[in-house]
Structure 1
Amino acid sequence: MSGVAAAQRLLAVVDKRDPHQPEFRQAVKEVVESLIPVFDVHPEYADVMERLIEPERAIQFRVAWLDDKGKIQVNRGFRVQYNQAIGPYKGGLRFHPSVNMSIIKFLGFEQIFKNSLTTLPMGGAKGGSDFDARGKSDAEIMRFCQSFMTELARHIGANIDVPAGDIGVGGKEIGYMFGQYKRLTKNFEGVLTGKGQTWGGSLIRPEATGYGLTYFVQEMLKTKNTTLAGKTVCVSGFGNVCWGTCLKSVELGAKVVTISGPDGYIYDPAGMNAEKINYLLELRATNNDVVAPYAQRFPGSQFHAGKKPWEVKCDVAMTCATQNELNGDDARQLVANGCMCVGEGSNMGCTPEAIEVLQHAGLLFSPGKASNAGGVAVSGLEMSQNSMRLRWTTEEVDQHLQRIMRDIHEQCLAACRRFNKGQDYLFGANAAGFLKVCQAMMEQGCV
């Protein structure tokens, strides 16, 4: 069977089983179609992919919690333990109204390959809830997190499944859940990553995804004999990924001119500095999910309501908000404005049409499973520190992170060389991540 026929067969299976899960089907389609050259050479690998597409375990549960008025509220909780061929399940928890099984499955599927690329022994998983923190008090958030963990605790463990944070889940939420886990199990163990600095957390974990994205983009630019220094950069989002990206990009000499939120985007022609970047933490802490106040705080910057930052002229664009945030029209605008590189900091940040436009125009493009792997990489480093009862310095963690991102970049290019795919990072990331997991699954038998 040809690679094309194998891909068509795999996608037919997914379409039949999960017709109402568009995000998941999109993620599978992107990976499977990109691996056609692999299936041409190794048709037996398509059978492994058929197993890999189906999660080992998908859990949905009720989360009942008490609001400040004494009324019982109900949300849905999810955990998809996708694949543990190379290590314990590992992947973040997302608290956002958009969360459903399709989104959690797409994120978990992507996580398999991302974790594989880090070279650390971590399987793929994802979880979360449709809980909306906007307008909620800290007491309500705490009660929700405790209720969520009461159910989740029976499914996780330091050597079984180690969740982390994601959209809507930062240090505060991780703390509430870790405290509840201890109450339920009487175990003080590295069951969550993204913990506080005084109780097992790793330095630079909040910044890690943004740092890793920036390091990966820097590696891509080096292949064109240039760097981030002096480049104008557009960034979306305003959470931890955006914050870390802005910090490291400015440190490396770039000029970051945008951030964004659900309400629109900020254009700051003067570029961001330490004060402005620190203000992103204040914006997030309000739980209002808006960026408009930035323009009031810093005169000279402009707020554009209901728009996205990709219309701003830039050399480098980095998606740091959510899935499918950069579409075909956005990609065409970036190309017209002379952008040379797009790096995904969000998971599946670009639509398939956008990726096609960017690659056809010859731009450097990296998929999130490669360029945003810095977050889970430092989570893996946190797991190592917990297991050894050690705490590494900022410099040590950052050196490990830089090495991991360079290794991921090289793995992508090595896979491209092996299958004669030029500098196609989308193919390289999918192929390198898949081949490692595929080999482990074949060696472990009928799993």
Structure 2
Amino acid sequence: MSNYPAEPEFQQAYSELVSTLKASKLFQVHPELENCLPVVSVPERIIQFRVVWEDDKGELHVNTGYRVQFNSALGPYKGGLRFHPTVNLSILKFLGFEQIFKNALTGLSMGGGKGGSDFDPKGKSDSEIRRFCYAFMKELSRHIGGFTDVPAGDIGVGGREVGYMFGAYKSYRNQWEGVLTGKGETWGGSLIRPEATGYGLVYYVQHMIAYASGGKESFAGKRVAISGSGNVAQFAALKALELGATVISLSDSKGALVATGEQGFTEADIAQIAQLKLERKYLPELHQAEECLQSRFKWIPGARPWTHVGKVDIALPSATQNEVNAEEAKALIAAGCKYLAEGSNMGSTQEAIDVYEADRAEKKQNGLWYGPAKAANCGGVAVSGLEMAQNSMRIRWTAEQVDKELAGIMERCFWDCLNTAKEYFDLAEGELPSLVGGANVSGFAKVAKAMHDHGDWWSVKA
């Protein structure tokens, strides 16, 4: 992997996976699977293209578009499109690489991919965003399809952008197909899709709590610190409230909003934040305008919430990659945190993960238990897979059906991670299994075995 020194995010994701695999018994039990590593770490295809569009003044702009079609062993490439100024090939390769194994853990027929552009939708009019989406899809439409590659939304790509891109694809290709997920409810979208990642994250943590406590505890009465304030954070917060928890923080790129009393966020507070984000505004604008929020929350500019939340039982990083570092991990443990699960992709630095895992191993049942992103936040792509199924059958399931399927997928994912960790890692008496170890081994093994069956790699006899 020394071939990619200029791709730090991808290098981090690769190193984290490989270090876990080599610490496990996987290559002792199945030594042939190690031959897959140099193959699975290289994308099957990378598409990079220019996107030329004009603003409302008629001025020309050029952005770069990408699609990393990483691995199709288990199904069509599946993963989101991100529109953000920070988008580059390293970030998209890391996201696509993680997506391969995340999708494998859902048990659905989906490969892994990721894409997007360095275009920034903030501050743009609807007309400008529509023109950009049509220009972007003009090239991307050549490379995707319901049986080839099915993108979804991500940061900067919500229902509006998905709608424009779907309309562009339909226009360019003259066919209606489930080529994008996250579509509108009246034209092929699935109910529960906006909620899925946040809901699924909470469902996964429910199983963590139940297992660690022997079924004696739940979310009820727990103090939950959440970062971010987009879809994932909002719906994780709402589901946690529904289950009787107190949500004590949310954040955005401008800073963190932290409860000063015992009440925490209400459903009404989260509804206000959701409207704010639809308007592409930031949390300090809401805090400054609402006296009610000023009396119950402290605004901490330029900060993440982790060192400011006081006593905390559960932490759910749900903003962006590497948003918890080693010092913040230690602060959360000192504040009493017992469960941390990532709603964001690669939400913790490797140094933070090392802190979590050391605490789990040292303190046994009393340590912090870590749920990695590729398992804990797979609910979003799982419901995208369910949307693909509904599109293929030309039917629409009820919200209750989708939610039941989502809950079942998250439960199976948890037990898959747990049982794989028990099988491939040595545990001391009373030690909780490493969910990150179980997730990495299980996801990799599923993909590697399929790739072998397809002839993508092979064993050479000595």
Equivalent of 2:444 in 413, 423, 434:
434
CA distance in 1 between partners of 2:403 and 2:456 (Å): 39
The answer for the alignment partner of 2:398 in structure 1 is 393
Paired residues of 1:115 and 1:124 also in contact (CA < 8 A): yes
Residue type at the aligned position of 1:27? A
The answer for the alignment partner of 1:33 in structure 2 is 19
Evaluate the alpha carbon distance shift between residue 126 and residue 421 of structure 1 in structure 2; reply closer, same or farther with a 3 A threshold: farther
The answer for the alignment partner of 2:294 in structure 1 is 299
Percent identity reads 53
Residue type at the aligned position of 1:271? G
SS state of the match for residue 265, structure 1? strand
SS state of the match for residue 93, structure 1? strand
CA distance in 1 between partners of 2:426 and 2:186 (Å): 46
1:421 Cα deviation after fit: 4.4
Q: Deviations over 1:118-170 (max 9, x none)?
A: 00000000001111122111111111111111111000001100000111111
The answer for the alignment partner of 1:316 in structure 2 is 314
CA distance in 2 between partners of 1:128 and 1:253 (Å): 37
**Structure 1 residue ranges without an equivalent (≥5):** 1-13
Over 6 Å off, 4+ runs: none
The answer for the alignment partner of 1:260 in structure 2 is 251
1:369 aligned onto 2:374: yes
CA distance in 2 between partners of 1:444 and 1:91 (Å): 22
Equivalent of 1:243 in 209, 222, 234:
234
**Greater CA drift, 355-364 or 191-200:** 355-364
1:277 Cα deviation after fit: 1.3
The TM-score normalised by the length of structure 2 is: 0.92
CA-atom RMSD in angstroms: 1.0
After superposition, where does 1:12-411 map in structure 2 within 5 Å?
14-15=1-2, 17-36=3-22, 37=24, 38-225=26-213, 226-268=217-259, 269=261, 270-288=263-281, 290-296=282-288, 297=290, 298-300=293-295, 301-311=297-307, 312-313=309-310, 314-362=312-360, 363-411=368-416
Residue type at the aligned position of 1:201? G
Q: Deviations over 1:312-361 (max 9, x none)?
A: 12110001000001111110110111111110000000000111111212
Paired residues of 1:266 and 1:294 also in contact (CA < 8 A): no
SS state of the match for residue 225, structure 2? strand
The answer for the alignment partner of 1:3 in structure 2 is none
SS state of the match for residue 69, structure 1? coil
Q: Deviations over 1:26-76 (max 9, x none)?
A: 000000110012123322111112110010001111111111111111111
SS state of the match for residue 154, structure 1? coil
**Number of residue pairs matched by the alignment:** 432
CA distance in 2 between partners of 1:412 and 1:57 (Å): 29
**Structure 2 residue ranges without an equivalent (≥5):** 361-367, 428-432, 458-462
SS state of the match for residue 212, structure 2? coil
SS state of the match for residue 283, structure 2? coil
SS state of the match for residue 266, structure 1? strand
1:102 Cα deviation after fit: 0.2
Taking CA–CA contacts closer than 8 Å with sequence separation of 6 or more, which of the two structures ends up with the larger relative contact order? 2
Paired residues of 1:133 and 1:287 also in contact (CA < 8 A): no
The TM-score normalised by the length of structure 1 is: 0.95
